[in-house]
Structure 1
Amino acid sequence: MTTHYPELARRVRSQRELQPELYGGIDFDAAPYRLTIDPDDASALPKWVAERTPILTDERVVELISTATMLGDTVADPFAALMSRHSVTSLVGMVRQACREGVDAVPDAPPELVAFIADMEAAPEWLDMDMVRKGARQARIESALLSPFITRGAFIATFTNTYAALPMALTGALSGRRAARRVNETANFFAVTTLPDALDRHGPGFEAAAMVRLMHSMVRYNALERSDRWDPEVYGVPVPQVDQMPAGMIGLYLLAQQIHRKGRTEFTSGERAVVEFARYRCFLLGLPEELLPTTAEGIIQVFHARAALLRDGFDDATCGGLIRSTMAAYLRSGETRFDRIADSVEKSYSTAGFVIAFCHGNRHVARRMGVSIGVGDLARIAVTAPFIIGRLLVVTAANRVPVLRPAIDRYIVRLVKRRLAAYGNPEFVSDAKNYTPIAH
């Protein structure tokens, strides 16, 4: 049988050799229950999104998704495994210092840290930092003006499938106040990476990406080593790369869909810059290049294929609990009347965004998942849309005028920094002490 992605398969198998104590009990040659290529099984790909049959008959894409479903992080995972000898605080401090001052500045830097940072420093052959900076400049407009109103909705979209949502449920990171912290951390990461030069070697976005990778690796370690709830035969590898791809590439997927609806097949030069920015950000997060297509068709295909091979599953204890706690979370740092109004407006936009983007506008489907949109939400959107959407359209249009672009960018950078201050200082850690038992 032809192997279309031999290097990716090698990386998957290497996990057992690199960390036999962590991955020795996982059979990488056997598909976990979550992965299904049976056309009679229900999958996470809704019929209104795409037909599943053509995907299942595509050997190449089936192999890609099947292989990436079993891939963790071959350089960050060994470093996170040092939790058996070092405190979480110590590991976090090492990564932060290595990002800011270089690995040589870390006293007695373990070889696992050296390998981790070196992997992030090894720029891929396709990288064009000028394109990345151009893409970041465009991306931060939405980060400043639109993302604050839809991040929560996009965040809860990752909880609509039991098999993909379990790692987050297991950590207990979305119960109580920790729910607000995780949403703000996610918003913080995507915002900080859009700042000027943020993804440069010593930029804040580079450090944020390293911290996110460490957090995901800590989740893998704790799920496999410190929880009796994780069953590899059912769930495979915790937080596999194939489950990280949607969060990193969702913007490109929506852009690709927009291009497809217009009958186009190619990205414009400006759109290409956004694509390269997002791809490099995903690279820093550890995603393999095989999951980072460069064409609109390829981006759509990999998104649909991931859903087509993910077994359908929604249980209220896992998915419903995560969605309800996230929607109930209060994200503002203040308690003034303005803060309360702003929080309710943001929730209304996030709710509407979730219903439209992930439920095909079907309120009944959304309600079954724990998300309800009411008259009050629609009224808040109607009242504020002229300002929120209007400002976005005006700024986007002004940014196309070369003489206005520098002033527009200064304005947007100030807004992004204000957003970051409101999100608070991210921790990007996963502590086993906070983990909660999940019913079988």
Structure 2
Amino acid sequence: MDEDFGDVRRNITLFLLSLRQSIDRPFRGRAPAADGERERFMNTMLMVEEARIRFNTYTRYREEPTLDEWETARKELLNFINTFINSPEIDPAVYNRRFIISSALQRDREQPSPFVLLFVQKEERPILADALIIFRSYLEELNTKLAPTQGSLSFVDLDRIVPRQQVAPVHFGIVDGRIVVADRSPIAAEADKANIKSALEHIRGSGDHLIRNLETSNCDRRLLESVRELQSQLTADANIVKIGLTNMACGVMCAQFQRELPDALNGMLNAYNASISLYVAQFKEWDQFTQKAAAIDLDEDDVAEVDMAAADLIATLNKNPDLADPEVPKTISFIRQFLSFPGNSSKRAAFAMIRTIENLVSSIIRHSLNFFGQTAEKLVDAGSTAVSKMIIGLLGIALMSASGIGPAAVRAGAPWVKQAADIVQKQIEKASE
């Protein structure tokens, strides 16, 4: 079975998470009663968790695992399966429980992948023992197609490697050699347009009324500015993902100042936020964004890493107004503030920032491809020093952006970012010769 490594990693992670959930399912909401049963249950769960952590050690922190690294990880997984199947520490009843594979991705639920189908094709879900055997056979037959080494790739390969701009709070364009923020109004399904238009008119009206009430209250000015910003985006038909995130930020701020406001005003704020939540939920882009954000595996270190990368990018853009319109660092700064969200919301915000920077890199690379010949060794317009410097400057921003979020982007499902950074680095060195 030939699969891309990203798919293999997702499949293995999905199996281990589903295995843990299938073991845990009978004890949801209660611990095993007897001491011996409780100890056995804990040891079983630790075996699964250790296998997951060891697999992550070889793969999660490697943008492009070598064949040796992958083979070591695969052998350890096979050893785990064989040990688990034959372990005297595990309650025999565990093997007879139904194995339920549950993916967080909607596409796997609507159109199951070949891997998921291994466990759901039969009328009855397999028992856990059978699921382990199926998974072992999958690992034994697996022949992962790892990404080719950077030495075999050239700048023109980026056209294939780098995706078009994706669903994110911000999209970019290049106009007259400068990065600009590209307008992207919400796109509604034809059948929903009339209802969405009516809902938006109602929300805008209630937002204006809310702002007037806040202006005459003694509320914190930061809350008022948060509502004004959200209302301005709704009035301007702004990017739907940006509206959704701004609404989340507004909701967080409302909760912080709830005790300082009268009940009537709190009610208006809550209704306003709820209405916007329902509004953005009507758009496919917001649904895609929230599902992907929920499925990624980012931790606090990743959030901090993305925050530092965003800060460096903003500083560089501000220092190079000839390469970026002032609205670009301003908009990225606006998205960056969401990283301070509490709990899991910060991970969704980190995904938003990663996608925003990915779009910036994509826009620069695709624009720059037009200026390079098929040999990717020199600029087409080699006689234009100004154009050359502009392209090299833009590529420098793309390189810094991609390098800054590289590891986190891999964990967010975008390994192409690291590949692109390596290729761009080599292209800059060639063009500077």
TM-score of the aligned structures, taking structure 1 as reference length: 0.26
Bigger relative CO (Cα 8 Å, ≥ 6 apart) = 1
